[in-house]
Amino acid sequence: MKKKIAILGSTGSIGKTLINILKKNKKNFEIVLLTVNKNISELEKQVDLFNVKNLIITNKKNYLKMKSKKKFKDKNIFNNFLSMDKIFKNKVDYVMSSISGIEGLRPTIETIKHTKKIAIANKEAIICGWNIIKDELNKNKTEFIPIDSEHFSINYALKNLNQKNVECIYLTASGGPLKDLQLSKFKNVKIQDALNHPNWRMGKKISIDSATMMNKVFEIIEAHNIFDISYKKLKILIHPKSYVHAIIKFRDGMIKIIAHDTNMTIPIHNSIYFDSDNYLKTENLNIKKLNNLDLSKIDYKKFPIVKVLSDLNDKISLFETIIVSANDELVNNFLNKKIRFTEIAEKLIKFINLKEFKKYKMIKPKNIESIEQLNQYVRIKINKLSI
C-alpha cells in the first residue's frame, strides 16, 4: 500500500529535498497535499510529477493564477489552511512541516491531528508553541521527528537511552561566513558578506541568522524544548566543517559524537524511511575531517547575540516569541539596508530587556492566537522604537 504524504512548504529547500527522495521510489508514495506561498512554477512541476489533487496556495495572486489554469481544473485548490479538514478524510502516514517563519506555526499545529507522523523543520513552531504541539501530539498519538540536523542527531543518539544519564549536549555551529573576520570590521559587514555561508545554501533570513549566530540560539531553545533538558546542560561549539552535528556527554563518562555529511538529505531520508530497510548511500567515513574537527568556543565579542540565552529560564513562555519576532524584524531591516549588521544583536538585546516584556517570561502560551497576537505587537513595536 502506498504511503500517504503531505508537504507543507513543498517548494523550499526542505520540501524540494523530500520530493527528490520520494521520486526515487515514486510508486510507493501518494502525495495528498502540497502547500506553497509564491513559487507556483516549482509547484506545477511537483503536481505533474506526483499527480497531486490537493493544493494550498496562501498568496492570493498566485492562488487565483493557479485556479485559472485549464490543466488544473480537476485539482482542489485552496487559499488557506482552514480547508485541511476537507482535504484529510483519514490520517495520512507522514507530514513534513517546512514552512519557514512564524507563518508555519498554525499549519504545523493544526496538521498534527491529520497524520500518524510529523517531521517538523519549522523552528518557530518548536520555539514558540512547543507546549501546544506536545499536547496535540499526545492527544492524537502522533509521532514527532525533528528535522534540523542537530536535533535529528540528538534524537538518534538518545534512542532507547535513559535521558537522565545526560550530563551535557553540545550543538555545533559552523561559525558562518564571518568566523574569521576581524572584530573591528564587523560594523562594515555588507548583506552579501553575511549571506555567503561557507557550507550551506539557504534562504536569506536563515543565512543572516547563521551569520549572527542567532540560528544556533534558536537551535538551543529547540533542543531545550524537544528533549526537556535544562539550558545549563546545553552548549555551543564552533565546528567549521559541519561534519559533527552533536556531541553528548553522559554522566557515566561515555561520550557520543554524531557526525554525517553536510547534507540535509540524511535526516530527511531517515525521517521518511525510519522503520524500513531502505538505506541511503552516502560518502565513506571522512577520516580527514575527523582528524581535524577544529572545535572551539564561541567568541562572544563577535557574536554577542548568543547572550540572549542568559535571559531564558527553563519554563516555556511567551518570551521566546518576543525573541523570534523581534529578530525577524531586525533581520528584515538589515536586508532592507535600514540598520547595520552589528545593530541586529545590539537592538535585539536592548529590546527584549525592556521592562514591559519581563512579565512574559512567566506566561505560558495557551493557544496559537496568543502567540500570533504577541508576534504582531512585537513587530510593530520594534519598528516604532528607535533603540
Assigned domain for 295 exists: yes
User: Residue 381 has which C-alpha cell?
Assistant: 513595536
Assigned domain for 309 exists: no
Q: Is the pLDDT of residue 277 over 80?
A: no
Q: Is the pLDDT of residue 228 over 80?
A: yes
Q: What is the pTM of this model?
A: 0.94
pLDDT tens digit sequence for 20-52: 999 999 999 999 999 999 999 999 999 999 999
Q: What is the pLDDT of residue 118?
A: 98
Is 156 in the same domain as 252?
yes
Give the DSSP per-residue string, 168-191.
Answer: EEEEEE--GGGTTS-GGGGGG--H
Assigned domain for 275 exists: no
Handedness of CA 45, 48, 50, 53 (dihedral sign): positive
Is 16 in the same domain as 134?
yes
Is 32 in the same domain as 136?
yes
Q: What is the pLDDT of residue 163?
A: 87
Which tops the pLDDT comparison, 142 or 201? 142
Is 114 in the same domain as 215?
no
Considering 104, 129, 147, which residue would you say is the last residue of a domain? Answer: 147
Least confident of 144-148, 191-195, 201-205, 345-349: 201-205
What does R_g of the chain's alpha carbons equal in angstroms? 21
Beta pairing partners, 29: 3
Beta-strand runs (E) in the chain: 3-8, 29-36, 54-57, 76-78, 94-97, 117-120, 143-146, 166-173, 234-238, 244-250, 255-259
DSSP state at residue 342:
H
Is 166 in the same domain as 299?
yes
Q: What is the pLDDT of residue 198?
A: 76
Ordered strands of the 234-238 beta sheet:
234-238, 166-173, 244-250, 255-259
Is 357 in the same domain as 245?
no
Q: Where in the sequence is the domain holding 41, given as residue range(s)?
A: 3-147
Q: Is the pLDDT of residue 234 over 90?
A: yes
Q: How far is CA 24 from the centre of its chain?
A: 25
Q: Is the pLDDT of residue 201 over 80?
A: no
Considering 129, 147, 165, which residue would you say is the last residue of a domain? Answer: 147
What is the number of domains present in the chain? 3
Q: Do residues 89 and 6 touch, judged by C-beta distance below 8 A? A: no
Assigned domain for 311 exists: no
244-250 and 255-259 strand pairing: antiparallel
Assigned domain for 268 exists: no
Is 17 in the same domain as 132?
yes
CATH number at residue 41: 3.40.50.720
**Cα–Cα distance for residue pair 295/240, rounded to 1 Å:** 8
Is 40 in the same domain as 140?
yes
The answer for residues whose C-beta is within 8 angstroms of residue 99's C-beta and 6 or more apart is 8, 9, 12, 35, 37, 107, 108, 122
CATH number at residue 351: 1.10.1740
pLDDT tens digit sequence for 281-330: 888 899 999 999 999 999 999 999 999 999 999 999 999 999 999 999 99
Considering 147, 163, 178, which residue would you say is the last residue of a domain? Answer: 147
Is 121 in the same domain as 167?
no
Assigned domain for 326 exists: yes
Is 81 in the same domain as 20?
yes
Is 188 in the same domain as 285?
yes
**Cα–Cα distance for residue pair 380/349, rounded to 1 Å:** 17
Element holding 73 (H helix, E strand) = none
At 200, the pLDDT band (50, 70, 90 cuts) reads: low
DSSP state at residue 28:
G
User: Residue 271 has which C-alpha cell?
Assistant: 525521517
Is 178 in the same domain as 108?
no
Assigned domain for 272 exists: no
244-250 and 166-173 strand pairing: antiparallel
Assigned domain for 310 exists: no
Q: Do residues 150 and 245 touch, judged by C-beta distance below 8 A? A: yes
Q: What is the pLDDT of residue 36?
A: 96
User: Residue 286 has which C-alpha cell?
Assistant: 571522512
Q: What is the pLDDT of residue 275?
A: 67
